Amino acid sequence: MIIEPGIYIDDAGTPGVESPSVFLPESRKSWCAVIVMPKQAHKVSTAMGMFLSGVKDEFGAEELHFSDIYSGRGLWRGVSVQKRVEIFDLMAGVFSAFGFPVFYQTASDDTYKDWPDLNNISRLGGSEFWDLSRPAHLGLLFLVTQVRDELLTAKLSGALGRSEVFGIYVDEGIAKPGAKIEIPLQTKSSIADYLLFDSSLRCAGIQLADFAAFVIARTQWICANITGGKGVSNAEAHILKISEKLNLFNIKRVAVNARTFNKDAWEKVLTDDRRIKGLRVSRNSG
C-alpha cells in the first residue's frame, strides 16, 4: 500500500440531520482534510498497510467507514463494542504518532447570510462543476483555500521541499471516481490546481480523512446534545478523548468542566467566537 504525500478529504456525512443547536443547521455540509507530509508518507503507508490488512483478516472489511464501525452497521453488526473500540483506538494511535494537520469546514444556508456577496455568485470562473449556491461546493472550496493558505505559513512550509506540490484527493460523492476538477483559485504552487476524486477503497489516505471527519462531527453532536450534570455515555466520552488527539489547525480548543458543561455553554463559546470575527451573533437572523 502506498499513501502519497498529499491532502486527503472526506465529507462528514451530516446533511439533513436535525440538531437541537442553531450552530448545526440541517442544511450543513462539512468537509475534513488530513495532510500527509512528505517525510512521513513511507511510514504512514507501512502503518496503514499493516492496520488495514489486520482488519481485513479479522473482520473481512476491505475499508474503514467509522460511522458504520461506531454504530455497528453492515459488516460490523454483531462485532463486540470492545473490538470496535479497538479499531478506533488503533486509528487514534496513528494520528497521535504522525500528528497529521487536520482541517474541518462547514457551510450551510446560514453561510450565505454571513457573507451576502456569495448570493451573487453561482458558477465560478465559468466552471461547469463549481456551483457556489450549493453548500457542499462552497464548503469544499473554503476548505481547500484554508489548507492552501496554511501550507504557505512558517508552521507548515518548513515540512515541504522547495518544489513540493501537494496532490488533493477527495472521496467520491459529488463527483465520480477518476474525476479531475480544476480549482478556481490561485494555488501559489503549494497545492495542485485540481482535485482528484477517488474511492476510499482505492485511496487509503481518504480513510484517514473519514476517521477525522467522523470524530469531529460526532464531537460537535455530543456538545450540542449534552446536558450539564448528567455527563455523557462511555462511547461519547471515548470520542471526546480521541478528539483531543487530533492536530486541529482551524478549530479552537476550549477547556471545559465536564460536570457543568452543556449545550448552552457550547453555544456561548461559538457565539463569542462569531462576535470576535464580526459575524452575526444570532444564527437565526436574516
Q: Decide if 123 is inside a domain.
A: yes
Pair 195, 170: CB distance under 8 Å = yes
Q: Decide if 284 is inside a domain.
A: no
Q: Decide if 286 is inside a domain.
A: no
Q: Decide if 285 is inside a domain.
A: no
Q: Decide if 63 is inside a domain.
A: yes
Q: Decide if 281 is inside a domain.
A: no
Burial (Cβ within 10 Å: 0-12, 13-18, ≥19) of residue 280: middle
Looking at the DSSP bridge assignments, the partners of residue 89 are none
What local confidence, expressed as pLDDT, does residue 14 receive?
64
Q: Which long-range contacts (CB under 8 A, 24 or more apart) does 159-166 make?
A: 159/37, 159/38, 159/39, 160/37, 160/38, 160/190, 161/38, 164/5, 164/38, 165/189, 165/190, 165/191, 165/192, 166/5, 166/6, 166/7, 166/35, 166/190, 166/191, 166/192
What local confidence, expressed as pLDDT, does residue 23 receive?
85
What is the model's pTM?
A: 0.91
Look at the chain and report how many structural domains it folds into.
1
Q: Decide if 198 is inside a domain.
A: yes
Q: Decide if 256 is inside a domain.
A: yes
Q: What is the DSSP letter of 275?
A: H
Residues in the chain where the model's pLDDT stays below 70: 13-18, 122-127, 154-155, 157-163, 187-189, 228-230, 256, 258, 282-286
CA-to-CA distance for 232 and 26, rounded, in angstroms?
A: 23
Q: What is the pLDDT of residues 88-131, one digit of tens each?
A: 999 999 999 999 999 999 999 999 888 888 877 766 655 688 88
User: Residue 174 sits in which domain range?
Assistant: 6-276
